[in-house]
Amino acid sequence: GAATMADAYSRMSSRVGIVSLHQGCGLTNAMTGITEAAKSRTPMIVLTADSPAAALRSNFRIDQETLVRSVGAVSERVYSADTAAADVVRAYRTAVTQRRTVVLNVAIDIATLPVSVDGPVSPRFEQPRVRPNVGVVRDLVELIAASQRPVFVAGRGGRNAGPVIAALAATTGALVATSAVANGLFAGDPFDLGISGGFSSPTTAELISDADLIVGWGCVLNQWTMRHGKLIGADARVVQVDDDVDAIGAHRPVALGVVGDCGLTAADVLDEIRRVGAAPAPRYRTDDVRSRIAESSRWQHVPVDDISTADRIDPRALTIALDEILPADRVLAIDSGNFMGYPSTHLSVPDEYGFCFTQAYQSIGLGLYTAIGAALAQPNR
């Protein structure tokens, strides 16, 4: 629970969440939450005690480094009292610049030693932003210009680039959608389709599957976001924009892979369009499509055949009522389980910081802790 609180805090605050743990069993108890954070590439530090090197027969002793690496987190260590400050800075730098969950092991015999630090330690790190290759930017401009029904799908990697992606979509006539974790990024845009994938309404699914070009912005376009590929039409071209080269094409073949920061890439594509003087066309942004989105792209607008009985409530009807009753300026945290589709589809959120979806590992039971961490990050909601 504590690990998930730190994960949710980091997601909803854009700061590095921190959780501290006991050695051995403290770490193993937190591994499910750590796994979720690691799979989600959440910048987070797990400060955990560890058994002294000499304590070979300690009942707390396990191979913590191997355990941590097995779930995709980074294992770091405080090696001595003299190196403590440098070791912590190194762990923090990795968390920020590589978007990784870092487990910092501190043997309890080292933890008892006094540390002297010369001067203040105030590291300032930012995630490096990769500018895309000029030739690849031109290739993307050509693909967009050749399309008639483009759809942009933003994921976790595009959350910090919402306005510029939206501006590019408006210029090029593209509809916009998000993966579940980026839900709310385009809230208020009349051509926002909402969540792409299993949570899509029939209208949203139809408009995405009719696209002849799908561009994933920091989105791996996996089985959940593309409904096992069913949302990709037979003739659709697929493009992925991501600053992690290993993410491109990891889940499906792509016609073009763009290695670059989503915000910088969208801005460069906009500049190139203006440079070549490509006249913007409405493409997918027609009055008919706008009306369809307004009338039926949200599950709240899809008629419900209420199957409530005297002692059971239709979860769709219940969630629609809650959406009207609860304050609109909210943070929605979702647990995992068969129920999870109803709040994800029928409760609206104000923006990308209003939806906390800790489902990369899909462990049941983390929702309450997700909510606590998100609430600490967004105390005014």
Kindly give the interhelix angle for 2-13 and 367-377, rounded to the nearest 10 degrees. 40
Q: Which long-range contacts (CB under 8 A, 24 or more apart) does 327-333 make?
A: 327/381, 329/354, 329/380, 329/381, 330/354, 330/381, 331/12, 331/355, 331/356, 331/371, 331/374, 331/375, 331/378, 331/381, 332/356, 333/8, 333/358, 333/367, 333/370, 333/371, 333/374
Distances (CA, A) of 1 to 12, 17, 27, 30, 364: 16, 13, 12, 7, 11
Is the pLDDT at 77 greater than 70, yes or no? yes
Q: Note the pLDDT of residue 19.
A: 97
Q: Note the pLDDT of residue 170.
A: 95
Q: Note the pLDDT of residue 60.
A: 86
Q: Note the pLDDT of residue 119.
A: 73
Identity of residue 261: D
At residue 78 the predicted structure's pLDDT band, cuts being 50, 70 and 90, is very high
Residues 44 and 18 sit within 8 Å (Cβ to Cβ): yes
Distance CA 288, CA 7 (A): 41
Sheet holding 213-217, edge to edge: 192-195, 175-178, 150-154, 213-217, 237-242, 256-259
Question: pLDDT digits over 39-70, tens only?
Answer: 999 999 999 999 987 777 788 889 999 999 99
Among 34-43, 59-68, 146-155, which is the least confidently predicted range? 59-68
Give the mean pLDDT of 101-119: 91
Distances (CA, A) of 262 to 24, 40, 129: 40, 17, 9
Is the pLDDT at 97 greater than 90, yes or no? yes
Distances (CA, A) of 92 to 37, 234, 341: 15, 45, 35
Distances (CA, A) of 321 to 38, 43, 313, 372: 35, 36, 11, 24
User: CB 369: neighbour CB atoms within 10 A?
Assistant: 21
Tell me what percent of the residues of the chain surpass a pLDDT of 90: 89
Q: Note the pLDDT of residue 128.
A: 87
Q: Note the pLDDT of residue 121.
A: 73
- Phi–psi pair at 75, nearest 5 degrees: -100, 125
Distance CA 378, CA 156 (A): 18
Block residue for tokens 């009807």? 317
Q: Note the pLDDT of residue 122.
A: 73
At residue 373 the predicted structure's pLDDT band, cuts being 50, 70 and 90, is very high
Q: Note the pLDDT of residue 280.
A: 66
pTM value? 0.92
Distance CA 50, CA 62 (A): 9
Tell me what percent of the residues of the chain surpass a pLDDT of 70: 99
Contacts of 209 (CB under 8 A, 6+ apart): 230, 231, 232, 233
Question: pLDDT digits over 115-139, tens only?
Answer: 888 777 777 888 889 999 999 999 9
Residues 176 and 192 sit within 8 Å (Cβ to Cβ): yes
Is the pLDDT at 80 greater than 70, yes or no? yes
Q: Note the pLDDT of residue 279.
A: 61
The residue with greater pLDDT, 118 or 354, is 354
Identity of residue 145: A
Mean pLDDT taken over the chain: 94
Which residues, listed in sequence order, are joined to residue 153 by a DSSP beta bridge?
177, 216
Question: pLDDT digits over 175-218, tens only?
Answer: 999 999 999 999 999 999 999 999 999 999 999 999 999 999 99
Is the pLDDT at 12 greater than 80, yes or no? yes
